[in-house]
Amino acid sequence: MLALALAAPFGLAGCADVLIGAATTTGLAIAEERTVGNAFKDLSIQTELNHLFFQDDLDLYTDVSISVVEGRVLLMGSVPTYEDRSRAGWVARQATRAEEVINELQVTGDGGILNYAKDRWISLLLDAQLLLDLDILSVNYDIETVNSTIYLIGIAQDEEELELVKEHARGIEGVERVVSHVIMKDDPRRPPPPNAR
C-alpha cells in the first residue's frame, strides 16, 4: 500500500503498482469473506486515504497505519500530540466511501526502530500462528502491533473463532494488550450479498 501511495503523486509511474495491488486484492477476495467488489472498494478507500494523508501532513502520513475492511477504517500507530490524533481522524473521515472511522492512534513518544522491530515480529508471529490453525480462516483478519498492543480488524466466522485468535495473540511473549474491532460474519453492519434484495 505504501508503494501505491508514493506512486500516486507521480502520475503514470503508479499504474503498474495499482495493477499489482488490484491483482493481489482479487486473489485474496476469492478466498476471504469479503466479496471481490467490497475488496476493490476497500482498496479504493485505502488509496484515497493514502493520498489524503500525503497531501495533508507528511508526518501523519508516515505515523499512521491504516486497515480498511468493508468500508470500516482502522487508524493505528503513534503520534506525538492529541491534536495530531484528532487531525488524523478528521482526515480519514474525508474519504468519500469510508463508512466508519475507528481511531486507535496512541499519543506517545514511545517508538523507535527497536519497538518497531519488536512489534513487527509480534505481528508476523501471530500471522503465522493463525495461518497454521485450521480452525481459523486467517485471510479474514488484518493484524497490526503498535507498542506491544495488537490491533485486530476483520470478519470472524463466529465468536469461537475470534476467541481462538485472541488466545493466540495473548499467548505471544511481549504482548501487553489485544484490541479487537473484528465483527461477526452475520453482523448487520456488513454489506448485503450482491444478489440480496
pLDDT in tens, 133-151: 999 999 999 999 999 999 9
Confidence of residue 192 (pLDDT cuts 50, 70, 90): confident
* Cβ atoms < 10 Å from Cβ of 194: 9
**Are 46 and 153 contacting, i.e. CB atoms less than 8 angstroms apart?**
no
Share of the chain above pLDDT 70, in %: 81
Q: What is the pLDDT of residue 21?
A: 44
Residues 22, 16: Cα–Cα separation, whole Å: 10
Closest of 151, 129, 158 to residue 69, by C-alpha: 151
Cα–Cα distance list, 165 to 70, 98, 114, 122, 138 (Å): 20, 26, 26, 14, 9
Range scoring the smallest mean pLDDT among 22-26, 49-53, 177-181: 22-26
